[in-house]
A and B are shown apart, each in its own frame.
Chain A
Amino acid sequence: QQPVQSPQAVILREGEDAVINCSSSKALYSVHWYRQKHGEAPVFLMILLKGGEQKGHEKISASFNEKKQQSSLYLTASQLSYSGTYFCGTGPAGYGGSQGNLIFGKGTKLSVKP
């Protein structure tokens, strides 16, 4: 089952904050987050493996709520370079986190304006 990302799109001004959510109908072992600019390769942001774990990457952080089967990506004080489409990839429980079992959401398009 493909995870559901929300919102589908968001427009920000530089310096504003945003939250992108990723929800699954299945129990999860892992959540990956990637950012992709148009026509380019997705770039790795972070992986979360344990319930409730938070990780950070510059001004981008994420949480993973195992009980709720969801992850949230937090972008603070957004910069123009944050523009792109953000994808979550969920690894279902019971597969040991094999990347071959990752299922990606449809993405959230983030546009940061000056």
Chain B
Amino acid sequence: DGGITQSPKYLFRKEGQNVTLSCEQNLNHDAMYWYRQDPGQGLRLIYYSQIVNDFQKGDIAEGYSVSREKKESFPLTVTSAQKNPTAFYLCASSIPRANSPLHFGNGTRLTVT
């Protein structure tokens, strides 16, 4: 079955450490996205990529970095510069067309202490 896989489901890190969240899709979608979700805040876009080797900042890109070396993979690194990294992170993919839905992974809950 096609879908998006995020790993791990739960991640714990100490403050000051960088951490990379994995996102893999086998839907053959060109576009991929990273969202951050905090309680009561909805989904906020961190980065998105519409094609391999190209990506754009979203609304809250500070303290995060991404790469898109392969069509099926879009890893997100949460750096030590991110002031409040504890959150639920969702990866999504889509066909880059206006009438195409976002397909979401099951998320990674990151806790930084």
The interface bits of chain A over 98-114 (1 if a CB of B lies within 8 angstroms of the residue's CB, else 0) are 11101111110000000
A6 sits at the interface (CB 8 A):
no
Interface residues on B, range: 20 to 34
CB of A57 to closest CB in B, whole Å: 11
Interfacial chain A residues near B109, Cβ < 8 Å:
39
Residue in contact with B99 in the complex, picked from A49, A100, A103, CB distance below 8 Å: A49
Interfacial chain B residues near A54, Cβ < 8 Å:
none
CB of B22 to closest CB in A, whole Å: 15
CB of B8 to closest CB in A, whole Å: 14
Residue in contact with A41 in the complex, picked from B48, B98, B105, CB distance below 8 Å: B105
Residue in contact with B101 in the complex, picked from A41, A44, A106, CB distance below 8 Å: A44
Residue of A nearest to B41 (CB): A106
Interfacial chain A residues near B58, Cβ < 8 Å:
100
Task: Tell me the chain A residues, 8-47 only, with Cβ under 8 Å from chain B.
Answer: 29-30, 32, 34, 39-44, 47
CB pair B42 A105 closer than 8 Å: yes
Binding site for A on B (CB under 8 A): 4, 31, 33, 35, 40-45, 48, 50, 56, 58-59, 88, 90, 94, 96-107, 109
Which 4 residue pairs spanning A and B have beta carbons closest together?
A97-B98, A41-B104, A44-B101, A104-B43
What are 27 A-B contacts defined by CB distance under 8 Å? A2-B42, A32-B101, A39-B107, A40-B106, A41-B4, A41-B90, A41-B105, A42-B43, A44-B101, A87-B43, A89-B43, A91-B98, A99-B33, A99-B48, A99-B94, A99-B98, A99-B100, A99-B102, A100-B33, A100-B45, A100-B48, A100-B58, A102-B45, A103-B59, A104-B42, A105-B42, A107-B40
A sample of 5 more A-B contacts (CB under 8 A), given A97-B98, A100-B45, is: A2-B42, A40-B107, A49-B99, A100-B56, A102-B102
